[in-house]
Chain A
Amino acid sequence: MADVKAGLYYSSEHEWLRADDDAVYLGITDFAQSSLGDIVFVDGEPVGSQLSAGDVAGVIESVKAASDLYAPVSGVVLAINGRLAETPELLNEEPYACWIVKLTLSNPAELDGLMDAKAYAAFCEGL
């Protein structure tokens, strides 16, 4: 059973989002890391990129798979987590402790379209 952490927003693409003042941090869930397997490479769109909700915000590669990271909300890329360049396996080990991309939050209303932990747990259950 995949771990779901309370207090975060979730997307149906198995991403979590943590809102923090005017910025949001984007990562992938335990379910996502477990489906991908050994993660070997992580990258985000360049800092300064203007993203709309649904745009590709980054990429995650495992040994046997590759997955795009989609921005669940619109915003400008503020930072990419540099730790993951050296140690992408952190996403396997502690998916909720490692954000991948930090974005501005252009439209806070977009958060309403995301799931909370309970809804996401039910969503995973139904898969």
Chain B
Amino acid sequence: MSYLPYTDGERAGLLAALGLSTPGALFEDIPAAARAGGIDGLPGPMDECALAAHLTELAGQNDPAATPFLGAGVYDHYIPAALAGLVSRSEFATAYTPYQPEISQGTLTGIFEFQSHITRLTGLDVANASQYDGASACAEALFMAVGQTRKHRALVSRGVHPEVRRTLRTYARFRGVELAETDTDPQGQSLTGLSEALTDDTAAVIVQNPNFFGVLEPMTAIAALAKAGGAAAVAVCDPLSLAVLKPPGACGFDIAAGECQPLGLPPSFGGPHAGYLATKESYLRRMPGRIAGQTTDAQGRRAFVLTLQAREQHIRRDKAVSNICSNQALCALTATVYLSLMGPKGLVKAAALSAIHMDDLRRTLVSQYGFTQVFDAPFFRECVLRPPEGAVCDWGYDLSADYPELAGARLLCCTEKDGAERRGRILSAWEANR
């Protein structure tokens, strides 16, 4: 009876109002051959005190600090103390999708602000209320491109996150879209590979910036390439990097998609985070997911509503642009509040400090520890480095499974939290263990 709100006597009263003594009669539509007498084999029930101890013990079996310089798509940025308390407020957390706008202006205003923040970071016209994650957002971007161009082939660079590429592969397979992967060049960049593979029947060119190796791509040239080939240009961008990097809209991209985790969301073993999706006005009606819009009520007061819903599954059913119903509202709100707290100056600092810290680490590892830098191109807050022959290094992300040609090389990452002192401690400990 853990969360049932009444006594046995009160329950009997409700049953009596229906002329019943037990709830069993309410389940008589279930055919006898399909009936179960309870659920076997589950643990519990546990009192909250015991459950809390159990959960604390499980959490203690994890060691979040064990691997230094680990990024590869999930980043350990500083989260302002004000953030958690705001977004965990019950009024945000325990509301449903804002179908009743009159009593959902908090959620709806938050979505509108999220859309505004994302368009300003990406330099594109419109954004939706968020997607499940960056990878599924990219899959939706692919389908937008296919719908717009009416072509069924897409190019994705191997510089795109391996998990994003795998997700794209799954979505594309069942939708009948041909997906071709293109190699990066010796600089770790994608332009050459993409331009060799581009054909007239290409719907989308998908590139990540900074790419999975941390390397900055020649974005303007890639967008121009896609445009010349009649394909939609899709950029996968880390929104935090857009504090300093040229936005995909300004580079000529049609769609930007990516992962909001760097914007104040804890790693949480991979989720929940939030994907974002932004595009040009001309693609608006192909964009999936919730979109909040501004309007007025009968008294002329500004109000926000979910809008352009005729794109969506609950109206369009089999002709909807996507099946997505929810967004990641609370995670998108977290990103929104993070950006509002940090402001432009704070965000630039987070990006710049991360980049400097990584560059400092690279320089130290190359000049003092015998590491080699694999790609000689500008990078943001991650860099592929090969430890000296014979050295055991388990920092960061091991590239060998996804990129056999880079076996032994590590993808290292720094954020604003990896200052000289922290880096020094990690390097000393490593040196001492060699």
Direct A–B contact in the complex, CB atoms closer than 8 angstroms: yes
**A residues near B, CB below 8 A?**
40-41, 61-66, 68
Residue of A nearest to B320 (CB): A66
Residue of A nearest to B305 (CB): A63
CB of B316 within 8 Å of the partner chain: yes
Question: With the chains together, A62 CA to B315 CA distance in Å?
Answer: 10
**Interface residues in B8-56 (C-beta closer than 8 Å to A):** none
Kindly provide the distance from the CB of B181 to the nearest chain A CB, expressed in whole angstroms.
32
**Interface residues in B291-324 (C-beta closer than 8 Å to A):** 308-310, 315-316, 319
| A-B contact list, 16 entries, CB within 8 Å | A40-B310, A41-B285, A41-B308, A41-B310, A61-B310, A62-B310, A63-B309, A64-B309, A64-B315, A65-B310, A65-B315, A66-B310, A66-B315, A66-B316, A66-B319, A68-B319
- Which residues on A sit within 8 Å (CB–CB) of B309? 63-64
Question: With the chains together, A41 CA to B308 CA distance in Å?
Answer: 9
Question: With the chains together, A62 CA to B310 CA distance in Å?
Answer: 7
Residue of B nearest to A67 (CB): B310
- Which residues on A sit within 8 Å (CB–CB) of B285? 41
- Which residues on A sit within 8 Å (CB–CB) of B315? 64-66
Tally of contacts, chain A with chain B, CB under 8 A: 16
Question: With the chains together, A61 CA to B316 CA distance in Å?
Answer: 10
**B residues near A, CB below 8 A?**
285, 308-310, 315-316, 319
Kindly provide the distance from the CB of B170 to the nearest chain A CB, expressed in whole angstroms.
28
- Which residues on B sit within 8 Å (CB–CB) of A40? 310
Residue of A nearest to B316 (CB): A66
Residue of A nearest to B315 (CB): A66
- Which residues on A sit within 8 Å (CB–CB) of B308? 41
Kindly provide the distance from the CB of A32 to the nearest chain B CB, expressed in whole angstroms.
15
Kindly provide the distance from the CB of B149 to the nearest chain A CB, expressed in whole angstroms.
13
- Which residues on B sit within 8 Å (CB–CB) of A63? 309
Residue of B nearest to A59 (CB): B310
Chain B interface SS verdict (over half): helix
Question: With the chains together, A123 CA to B319 CA distance in Å?
Answer: 27
Question: With the chains together, A62 CA to B308 CA distance in Å?
Answer: 9
- Which residues on A sit within 8 Å (CB–CB) of B316? 66
- Which residues on B sit within 8 Å (CB–CB) of A64? 309, 315
Question: With the chains together, A63 CA to B309 CA distance in Å?
Answer: 7
Residue of B nearest to A61 (CB): B310
- Which residues on B sit within 8 Å (CB–CB) of A61? 310
Question: With the chains together, A90 CA to B29 CA distance in Å?
Answer: 51
Question: With the chains together, A62 CA to B319 CA distance in Å?
Answer: 15
- Which residues on B sit within 8 Å (CB–CB) of A66? 310, 315-316, 319
Question: With the chains together, A63 CA to B316 CA distance in Å?
Answer: 12
- Which residues on B sit within 8 Å (CB–CB) of A41? 285, 308, 310
Query: Which of A61, A62, A64, A68: most chain B Cβ within 10 A?
Result: A61
Kindly provide the distance from the CB of B281 to the nearest chain A CB, expressed in whole angstroms.
13
Task: List 9 A-B pairs, minimum CB-CB distance, nearest first.
Answer: A61-B310, A66-B310, A66-B316, A66-B315, A65-B315, A64-B315, A41-B310, A65-B310, A62-B310
Kindly provide the distance from the CB of A31 to the nearest chain B CB, expressed in whole angstroms.
19
Kindly provide the distance from the CB of A100 to the nearest chain B CB, expressed in whole angstroms.
16
Question: With the chains together, A66 CA to B310 CA distance in Å?
Answer: 6
Kindly provide the distance from the CB of B292 to the nearest chain A CB, expressed in whole angstroms.
15
Kindly provide the distance from the CB of B282 to the nearest chain A CB, expressed in whole angstroms.
12
- Which residues on B sit within 8 Å (CB–CB) of A65? 310, 315
Kindly provide the distance from the CB of B177 to the nearest chain A CB, expressed in whole angstroms.
21
Kindly provide the distance from the CB of A34 to the nearest chain B CB, expressed in whole angstroms.
17
- Which residues on A sit within 8 Å (CB–CB) of B310? 40-41, 61-62, 65-66
Question: With the chains together, A63 CA to B319 CA distance in Å?
Answer: 16
Residue of B nearest to A43 (CB): B285
Residue of B nearest to A66 (CB): B310
Question: With the chains together, A95 CA to B426 CA distance in Å?
Answer: 73
Kindly provide the distance from the CB of A48 to the nearest chain B CB, expressed in whole angstroms.
14
Kindly provide the distance from the CB of A70 to the nearest chain B CB, expressed in whole angstroms.
13
Query: Which of B308, B309, B310, B315: most chain A Cβ within 10 A?
Result: B310
- Which residues on B sit within 8 Å (CB–CB) of A68? 319
Question: With the chains together, A61 CA to B307 CA distance in Å?
Answer: 12
Kindly provide the distance from the CB of A24 to the nearest chain B CB, expressed in whole angstroms.
25
Residue of B nearest to A63 (CB): B309
Kindly provide the distance from the CB of A60 to the nearest chain B CB, expressed in whole angstroms.
9
Residue of B nearest to A60 (CB): B310
